[in-house]
Amino acid sequence: MAEEAKWYVVHTYSGYENAVADTIIKSAENRKMRDLILEVNVPMETVTEISDSQTKTVERKVFPGYVLVKMVMTDESWHLVRNVRGATGFVGSGNKAVPLSDEEILALGVEKHEVVVDFDVGDSVKITDGPLEGFIGTVDEISADKTHVRVIVSMFGRETPVDLELDQIEQMK
């Protein structure tokens, strides 16, 4: 069922976000619904405040009045979340909760997708897709977010840098 789980936004009274999140988790455990309600998140950010020449670091809510819940939407899970004290309802149209899109989830930073790269700068790789399919090159640079790689390919007797997606190359064995 975890594959069906989506992120939903629950509107709460301001200042009740953490209490609502804790209550949702406890209620799900008590009713043996942890397979339906997987995660509850109150997005926080660390902010440095400077006042009267004093610097202090504080945690504050990114979206006051909202809690994010990753859940499988059923009548039971909807009622559990909807009836938590301090929660006023799901964000959506009418009584229909609308899940967040994958783009929104990534933009919010709720779920981190870690990319593991099995090659390093200087390794030989084979291009498996695109107009240069079949060419062999050397990894010159891996982007900081690990989504792109620059490969140096020898074409027409010249070294040519080519920017590629990670899924367009494979490490030479």
Q: Which CATH code, of 3.20.20.70, 3.20.20.370, 2.30.30.30, 3.30.470.10, is assigned to 124-171?
A: 2.30.30.30
Who has greater pLDDT, 2 or 65?
65
* H helices, E strands: number in the chain: 3, 13
Domain boundaries, the chain: 2-108, 124-171
Q: Give 123's Cβ-side CA count (13 Å radius).
A: 16
Q: Which CATH code, of 3.30.70.940, 3.40.50.920, 3.40.50.2000, 3.30.499.10, is assigned to 2-108?
A: 3.30.70.940
pLDDT in tens, 117-168: 777 889 999 999 888 999 999 999 988 677 788 999 998 889 999 998 888 8
pLDDT in tens, 19-72: 999 999 999 999 999 999 999 999 888 888 777 677 888 888 888 999 999 999
How many other C-beta atoms are found inside a 10 Å radius of the C-beta of residue 109?
Answer: 10
Residue-level pLDDT at 2: 57
Single-letter code of the amino acid located at 117:
V
Q: At what angle do helices 17-30 and 75-82 cross, to 10 degrees?
A: 140
* 153: its two tokens: 């390919």
Residue-level pLDDT at 119: 79
Distance CA 54, CA 19 (A): 31
The residues that bridge with 6 in the sheet, in sequence order, are 71
